[in-house]
Structure formats: structure tokens, C-alpha cells
Structure 1
Amino acid sequence: MPTSLFQHARTRAIVLAAALFGALALFLAAAPPALAHDELVSATPADGTVLEEAPAEIKLVFSSELMDLGNQVIVADASGADQVQAEPILNRETLVQKLPALSDGEYQVSWRAVSSDGHPITGAFSFTVGDPASTDAATDPAAGGAESTPATDQASPAPDQTAIADSQNTSSGTFGPLGWVLTIVGGAVVGVLIYVVVVLVNKRRRGGSA
């Protein structure tokens, strides 16, 4: 009889341990997609858009609510000068950057936002105001436009743009602090449960042998 009880307890312990290991494997497999960084869903104006009139704002919509921490939008003209004169406005998952009156030409937009998991995400796109052909003709001497004078000092990228590029390199492919915390907590809980199962099996074993 004690031997039968011991075998039954051992079988239950094995089944429970297998279930716990399966649950841990499922948690680790499902955690990265669930904790993936938020991403840009849409931008207005969209990348590559040619506009007849300059936009009054840049509107960025993300897949989840952003954190109001260090969000930034840079709108650089052909010379690299940032045209932004105010801070962006965050409304949950929507980031809006008001713009001054922009001249005709191509503009490069670089944005930085803080994902809901606390990790920075970045991106860039461009749009053009006015007819690109007429803009090029106005600055091309061969096309009969005003002759352009070469600049003595080439405009360097804005420091904020360099910081954005650095943060993009360091943030890509990472799990995020929240993901690591949940993984450690989940592993600790599974370890405690396995320890409890082992203790119970040992007690039953000693009771059966007695």
C-alpha cells in the first residue's frame, strides 16, 4: 500500500512538473511578440508625398499609446536646417508637430518617440512642397534659373538628428526592461512551484517508507 501511494504521488509530481515546464516555455515563446515595441501606423503627410501647399502640421499615429517622455520631431529643409519651432503635442497614440509656413522644396522628417514599454523608437520619411521639377529648374543654371553660388560651409546635421540615429542603433533588437522583468518573475515563480513539488514528493516518500 505505501508503495502504491508513493508511485501515485511520483506520477502526479512528474505530470505537474511537465505542466509547469510547458507553461514556462509557452510564456517565453509568447513574451517577445506581446512586448514588442510600438510602431508607426501612419504619417500625414505620407512618405514621398508631393503637396501643392505646405502642411500646417505633421501627424504621426502609432500602434499604442506613447509615453510623454522625450518625444521629438525634426523637419529639415534641403540645407539641413530644422524648421520646427515648437514642441510636439502628444494625445495618447497620436503625436502632432505644428509647422511654420514652409517654402517650396523637399523636407526630411526625423522622429523619436518613447514606446509604451519605455523604449525609444525612431524613424524618418520625406515629403515635398510644390512641383519638384520647377524647384529644380529655379536652382539649375542650365535650365535658365538663377545661378546658385556654392556654399562655403556645408551644413552639418543637427545634433538632435545625430542623437536620434544613435538611439535607433541602440534600441533595435532589444527586449526591453519590462520584458526582462516579466521573464525573471515568471522563472522565479516556476522555480518555487517546482521546489514545492519536490518537497511534497520527498515527504510522501518518507511517509511511505515508514
Structure 2
Amino acid sequence: MVEVESRTRREDGVTLVAAVVRNGTDVRRRVRLENALDGPTLPPRRHGVPADGWDGDAVTVTLEPGEREGVGFASHTAPESPAIRVVEDVRVTPEGVGNGVDSDPTPDDAAALVRRLGDPAPPRDAVPAANAPSAERDRDGPEPDVPPPVAEWFATVESRVRTVEACAGAETLAEATAVVDDAGGLGAVERAVEEAADDAATLRAVERRAAALADRAEGSAEATDLAPLRTLS
């Protein structure tokens, strides 16, 4: 059987429920937890939809032996005890005996993680071909160094993008797990995904402003004749 510990907190008229479910057995188990409060459930959301595992007022998690997982939700109703209850706790065997669940990792497991994180890939037509000619590179030669603060910001954004790209490219559960571990946990990956969208918007805004300013700088430099100024001085 599994063990569930929960606590509630009332904040701004909303009851926040946080629980930890632990599989203390030596077999894999599938557990379904349900909101026990007398009110509608407000589940956590990812990209505008209920987080992976949530269905109505309940969430389903699968735990390896000894594994624990945190779940949480909110409700407008007053806190009660217990705030969450176990409505299903079944053993998951390799053959799926009695529950029709296969415990062997499949590509679908990794796909579920990717669906939870979202697809960070930009539209194909927004990515220039690797061998596309660049008039700016041909004209200006090697790209000049950017100021250190800008370079540091680029490096931070690139690190987040690499994390999200690695998750999107994971094709097996083992690969997805390795990516999450390298990032420092699922929370770090989720933050990277959420921030990547903001990064993209900021980068495009910087690109537009930089291009406009570059055109002004280049045009004004070419149009300015210093000879009269030297004569007057």
C-alpha cells in the first residue's frame, strides 16, 4: 500500500493542497488520488491545460518501489481533513495482470514527458539553412564580439534552450530521465520551458530593434562628411 502525507494552506481565499505519495512496497504501483474537499478542483496547469496525470478531480501517478512524488492542487472551498484521498492503489506487473498496464518503458513514456513540456522547436521557415549565403557575413567578415553583459545573457538563454531541445529530442524514457537529471530535476526543466517562450519573444524584439538601429548607424556614418567639420574646427 502507498502512504500519503498532505497539508493545506489558505491564501487569498484559496485553499492550497500539497501532498506527497510514497510507494513503500517492493513493486511498481499505480495510484489515483482524488480531491476530498467539498468544492471544485483547480489542478496545476502546463501550457494552459491540466498537468500530466490530471483528469477531473483526480490525478494518477505510477511509482517505482520506494519512489515518492509530490502532487498539489487548489480549491476555493475551505480546508478540511483529509484534503486528498486514495481512490485507487493497484500493483503494476510486467504482464499488466489485473490492470492492463505494461510496466516496461516505451517511447510513449518519453513522448508523454515531451507533451508535458511542450514543443520548443521554432517554425521550420524561421530557421535559415546552414549553407544559406549571408550578405552581412560576406560584407563585414568575422562577426565582432558582443559586449560581455550581452554575451552572458546569450549564454544563459542558450543554456535553457539546449535543455528544452534535449527534452524534445528524447525518444526513450531513459533519455528523458537523463535529460531531467542533467538539468537538476523536472522543476528546472519546467522553468526552462516556461522561460524559453519569454526568451524567444525578447530575442525577436532585440533582433528588430538591433536591425533598425544598425541601419540607422550605418546610414548616418555613410552620410556624414567630416571634411567640413574639420575645416570649421
Instruction: Name the TM-score, length of structure 1 as normaliser.
Output: 0.33
Larger radius of gyration: 1
Instruction: Name the TM-score, length of structure 2 as normaliser.
Output: 0.30
**Higher RCO, 1 or 2 (CA under 8 Å, sep at least 6)?**
1
